[in-house]
């Protein structure tokens, strides 16, 4: 992708280490305690900005603002007016796309070429939900009760939505939560990850510029254990939407029990990629590699369990390793960077622990597996793209979500065997299949237990197509009409007319 603007200059203009307030009730505010936290560039360790470290009291203020808006002016917005607002937001996103992408790249490390490439997905999401805002309706239902009784349903907004997002895709994750809420007439309190809180604040400013009424969207920055926990348990929050780890998702589900709030969870994964013996190897290698390496493995759908038909296993893995060795690591703001840093020193240590585990359990380190040190990497969190061979299904690297650039390559002999092994995981978020046999492709997509299955491709996400997981990868869907129904209540109405 050609970069036709000065990304480094824009980066310097965006963040200078100064204070960035949070957004509550249409106002830019500090935490009630005055506490702040630093937000860092994971490639250099530099402080980009400081943000409020919100307390439970700050969350309470944000929820109260969202409730006032829901019960007040926002409730009087017609579907057409909500649609018009979303379209104005979409136009501002398009006009400011480079700024949003630079912000994402600086704060969480994804290469700028990849953040820029998400434009169709994110702006398209806003316009898709804008279109859906005027398409929501109930239905007239014929009933069997004697007499002249009319029955019909209404679709009504669920209320105040608490949204908790991860650090690995701040722009896309924010819009995936906010856009359907606005389309349906809900209000939102969004809590971004403490590791990458900056872009959601920029998003709030764009929405304010588009004419968003006060309190409809609120952004509280802070730690998950404090602000996130309070949002999850808050008695005046009607629904929680969360993307993140399975362990945190379980805690959020438990916290919502007190007031039986609706909960949607998009959680972890350990996605299988199956390369059949008739696959186009040269096409499959880069796709399989980048199914994991695209964001240094920091994606929930990373295809980190690679099953390759034994007949082509050695050739495939050799080409995969050559491809991995050719990837360039560097600061995400540079246009020739293929892999950026891991989000934090903490996450780098976690990944290093998995690599050490793979070696100690007897897996063969084919390539990578090292921390990059020395200039210009010494202050960042860079780990080389890593491929293990000789992996057994019961090894940690084959069972647990790593969230790092690590692929476990394993041969298989039969289709029945590989389906059983692919499904022998508590996760069920995504999967990939490579084959030139259309019948085999259909057979595998039916039998694999995953919310999304890609054939001869990977990573495709579209606003109109549902996305979400099975098993311990969560419940609920994002994308498509199913996503909107997650934000709506169905009310049945009975009228006796005789």
End-to-end CA distance of the chain: 67
285 and 339 both lie in a single domain: yes
Give backbone dihedrals phi and psi of 209, rounded to 5 degrees, phi first.
Answer: -65, -30
In this prediction, residue 42 carries a pLDDT of: 97
pLDDT in tens, 339-380: 999 999 999 999 999 999 999 999 999 999 999 988 889 899
In percent, the amount of the chain with pLDDT more than 70 equals 100
Catalytic, out of 266, 334, 478, 486: 266
The reply to whether 372 falls in a domain is: yes
pLDDT in tens, 242-295: 999 999 999 999 999 999 999 999 999 999 999 999 999 999 999 999 999 999
pLDDT in tens, 67-94: 999 999 999 999 999 999 999 999 999 9
Decide if 266 is catalytic: yes
311 and 178 both lie in a single domain: no
The reply to whether 34 falls in a domain is: yes
CATH code, domain with 294: 3.40.309.10
**Minimal CA–CA distance to 432: which of 274, 312, 311?**
274
In this prediction, residue 284 carries a pLDDT of: 98
Decide if 186 is catalytic: no
**How many Cβ atoms sit within 10 Å of the Cβ of residue 301?**
25
The reply to whether 498 falls in a domain is: no
Quick one: tokens of 494? 């009975």
In this prediction, residue 479 carries a pLDDT of: 94
Strands of 272-275's sheet in order across: 364-367, 386-389, 406-412, 305-309, 272-275, 430-434, 452-455
258 and 334 both lie in a single domain: no
CATH code, domain with 259: 3.40.605.10
In this prediction, residue 4 carries a pLDDT of: 84
Domain count across the chain? 2
Question: What is the rounded average pLDDT of the residues 36-43?
Answer: 97
Cβ(89)–Cβ(206) under 8 Å?
yes
In this prediction, residue 3 carries a pLDDT of: 85
Mean pLDDT score across all residues of the chain: 97
Quick one: tokens of 277? 């013996």
Catalytic, out of 186, 300, 334, 486: 300
**Close Cβ partners of 167 (under 8 Å, ≥ 6 residues apart):** 107, 108, 192, 193, 195, 196, 343
Pairing assessment for the beta strands 149-157 and 488-496 based on DSSP bridges: antiparallel
Lowest mean pLDDT among 1-5, 41-45, 392-396: 1-5
Taking 90 as the threshold, does the pLDDT of residue 467 lie above it?
yes
In this prediction, residue 2 carries a pLDDT of: 74
The reply to whether 354 falls in a domain is: yes
């Amino acid at each position: 992708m050609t970069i036709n603007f000065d990304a480094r200059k824009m980066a310097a203009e965006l963040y200078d280490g100064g204070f960035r307030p949070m957004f509550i009730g249409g106002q830019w505010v500090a935490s009630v305690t005055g506490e702040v936290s630093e937000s860092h560039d994971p490639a250099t360790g530099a402080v980009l900005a400081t943000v409020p470290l919100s307390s439970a009291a700050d969350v309470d203020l944000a929820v109260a603002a969202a409730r006032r808006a829901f019960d007040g002016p926002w409730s009087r917005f017609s579907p057409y007016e909500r649609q018009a607002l979303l379209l104005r937001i979409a136009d501002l996103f398009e006009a400011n796309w480079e700024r949003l992408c630079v912000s994402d790249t600086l704060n969480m490390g994804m290469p700028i070429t990849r953040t820029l490439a998400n434009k169709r997905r994110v702006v398209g999401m806003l316009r898709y939900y804008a279109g859906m805002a005027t398409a929501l309706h109930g239905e007239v239902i014929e009933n069997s009760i004697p007499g002249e009784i009319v029955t019909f349903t209404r679709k009504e907004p669920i209320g105040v939505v608490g949204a908790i997002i991860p650090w690995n895709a701040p722009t896309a994750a924010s819009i995936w939560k906010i856009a359907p809420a606005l389309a349906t007439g809900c209000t939102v309190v969004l809590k971004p990850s403490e590791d990458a809180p900056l872009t959601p604040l920029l998003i709030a400013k764009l929405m304010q510029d588009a004419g968003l009424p006060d309190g409809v969207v609120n952004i509280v920055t802070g730690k998950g254990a404090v602000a996130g926990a309070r949002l999850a348990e808050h008695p005046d929050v009607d629904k929680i939407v969360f993307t993140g780890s399975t362990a945190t998702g379980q805690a959020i589900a438990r916290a919502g029990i007190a007031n039986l709030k609706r909960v949607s969870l998009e959680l972890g994964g350990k996605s299988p990629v199956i390369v059949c013996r008739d696959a186009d190897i040269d096409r499959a290698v880069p796709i399989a590699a980048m199914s994991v390496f695209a964001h240094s493995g920091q994606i929930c759908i990373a295809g980190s369990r690679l099953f390759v038909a034994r007949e082509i296993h050695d050739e495939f893995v050799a080409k995969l390793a050559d491809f991995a060795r050719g990837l360039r690591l560097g600061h995400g703001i540079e246009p020739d960077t293929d892999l950026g840093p891991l989000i934090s020193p903490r996450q780098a240590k976690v990944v290093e622990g998995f690599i050490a585990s793979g070696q100690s359990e007897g897996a063969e380190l084919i390539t990578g597996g090292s921390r990059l040190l020395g200039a210009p990497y010494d202050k960042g969190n860079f780990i080389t793209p890593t491929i293990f061979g000789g992996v057994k299904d019961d090894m940690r690297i084959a069972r647990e979500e790593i969230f790092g650039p690590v692929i476990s390559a394993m041969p298989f002999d039969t289709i029945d065997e590989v389906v059983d092994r692919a499904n022998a995981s508590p996760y069920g978020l995504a999967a990939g299949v490579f084959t030139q046999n259309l019948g085999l492709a259909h057979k595998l997509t039916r039998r694999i237990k995953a919310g999304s299955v890609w054939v001869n491709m990977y990573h495709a996400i579209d606003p109109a197509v549902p996305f979400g997981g099975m098993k311990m990868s969560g419940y609920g869907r994002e994308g498509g009409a199913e996503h909107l129904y997650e934000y709506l209540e169905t009310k049945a109405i009975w009228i006796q007319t005789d």
